[in-house]
Amino acid sequence: MPRYTGTKRAILDATLELAATKGITGTTMDEVAERAGVAKGSLYYNFSSKDRLFEELLQEGVGALADTLLEARAGLHGRAALEALIGALLDGIASNTALAKLMASEIFRTDRTWQRTLFALRHEALAVFAEAIAEARPGSRDNGTCGLMASSVFGAVLMSGLEWLVFDPERHRDEVSAAILDSFSGGLLGD
Amino acid sequence: MPRYTGTKRAILDATLELAATKGITGTTMDEVAERAGVAKGSLYYNFSSKDRLFEELLQEGVGALADTLLEARAGLHGRAALEALIGALLDGIASNTALAKLMASEIFRTDRTWQRTLFALRHEALAVFAEAIAEARPGSRDNGTCGLMASSVFGAVLMSGLEWLVFDPERHRDEVSAAILDSFSGGLLGD
Block means of pLDDT (10 residues each) for chain B, 191 residues, are 80 92 86 96 95 91 90 91 94 91 79 79 89 86 86 93 90 93 80 56
Lowest mean pLDDT among A82-86, A104-108, B11-15: A104-108
Last residue of one domain, picked from the residues B27, B48, B69: B48
CA A116 to chain centre: 16
- A-chain residues near B175 (CB < 8 A): 143, 145, 148
Percent pLDDT > 90 in chain A is: 54
Q: For residue A1, is pLDDT > 60?
A: no
Q: Do A179 and B152 touch (CB under 8 A)?
A: yes
Q: Which of B31, B105, B148, B177 to mutate to test the interface with A (most CBs of A within 10 A)?
A: B148
Q: What pLDDT is stored for residue A187 in this prediction?
A: 72
DSSP notation for A56-78: HHHHHHHHHHHHHHHHHHTT--H
Q: Do residues B61 and B152 both lie within one domain?
A: yes
Domain assignment present for A55: no
Question: Do B65 and B151 belong to one domain?
Answer: yes
Query: In terms of domains, do B64 and B146 share one?
Result: yes
Nearest to B104 by CA among B114, B116, B91, B118: B118
Question: Do residues B42 and B95 both lie within one domain?
Answer: no
pLDDT band at A172 (very low <50, low <70, confident <90, very high): very high
Same domain, residue pair B93 and B160 = yes
B61 and B35 in a common domain? no
pLDDT digits (tens, 9 = 90+) for A108-148: 777 777 778 888 888 888 999 999 999 888 888 877 789 99
pLDDT for residue B190: 65
Q: Is residue A178 part of a domain?
A: yes
A57 located within any domain: no
Q: How far from chain centre, in Å, is Cα A77?
A: 22
- Chain B residue numbers with beta carbons less than 8 Å from the beta carbon of A111 are 21-22
- B184 contacts A183? CB cut-off 8 A: yes
User: Would you say B29 and B50 are in contact if contact means Cβ atoms under 8 Å apart?
Assistant: yes
Same-domain check for residues A145 and A173: yes
What is the distance of C-alpha A110 from the center of its chain? Answer: 17
CATH number at residue B148: 1.10.357.10
Of B5, B112, B18, B19, the residue nearest B60 (C-alpha): B5
Answer yes or no: do A152 and B180 touch at CB < 8 A: yes
Q: How far apart, in whole angstroms, are the C-alpha atoms of residue B7 and residue B10?
A: 5
Pick the residue with more confidence: B123 or A45?
A45
> What's the total number of domains in chain B?
2
Interchain proximity A159–B176, CB inside 8 Å = no
Same domain, A20 and A112: no
Of A82, A151, A175, the CB nearest to B188: A82
Query: CA of A110: which chain B residue's CA is closest?
Result: B21
Q: How far is B145 from chain A (nearest CA, A)?
A: 6
Judge: B105–A105 Cβ closer than 8 Å, yes or no: yes
Q: Name the residue type at position A44.
A: Y
Residues of B in Cβ contact (< 8 Å) with A23 = 23-25, 109
Residues B82 and B38 both lie in one domain: no
Q: Can you give the pLDDT at residue B150?
A: 93
Using DSSP's 3-state secondary structure scheme, residue B149 falls into helix
Q: Do A160 and B182 touch (CB under 8 A)?
A: no
Is residue A53 a part of any domain in this protein?
no
Question: Amino acid letter at A33?
Answer: A
Query: What local confidence, expressed as pLDDT, does residue A139 receive?
Result: 81
Residue A164: inside a domain? yes
Which residue from A minimizes the CA distance to B105? Answer: A105
* pLDDT interval class at A22 (50, 70, 90): confident
| B11, burial (CB in 10 Å: exposed 0-12, middle 13-18, buried 19+) | buried
Q: Which residues of B touch A78 (CB under 8 A)?
A: none
> Would you say B62 and B103 are in contact if contact means Cβ atoms under 8 Å apart?
yes
B177 and B93 share one domain: yes
- pLDDT exceeds cutoff 80 at A173: yes
Q: Are residues B38 and B123 in the same domain?
A: no
Which residues neighbour A98 within 8 Å (Cβ) at sequence distance 6 or greater? A16, A17, A19, A20
Alpha helices, H only, A23-114: 29-36, 40-46, 50-73, 78-95, 97-106
Half-sphere exposure (CA, 13 Å, Cβ side) for A175?
15
Select from A110, A155, A163 the Cβ nearest to the Cβ of B166.
Answer: A110
Q: In this structure, is residue A54 part of a structural domain?
A: no
B19 and B98 in a single domain? The answer is no
Can you give the CATH number for the domain in which B6 is found?
1.10.10.60
Nearest to A15 by CA among A64, A67, A59: A59
Residue of A nearest to B97 (CA): A108
Alpha carbons within 13 angstroms on the beta-carbon side of residue A43 total 23
Instruction: Name every chain A residue with its beta carbon within 8 A of the beta carbon of B159.
Output: 107, 151-152, 154-156, 158-159
**Does the beta-carbon distance from B23 to A109 stay under 8 Å?**
yes
Q: Which domain holds residue A166?
A: 63-187
Quick check: A188 and B137 CB within 8 A? Answer: yes
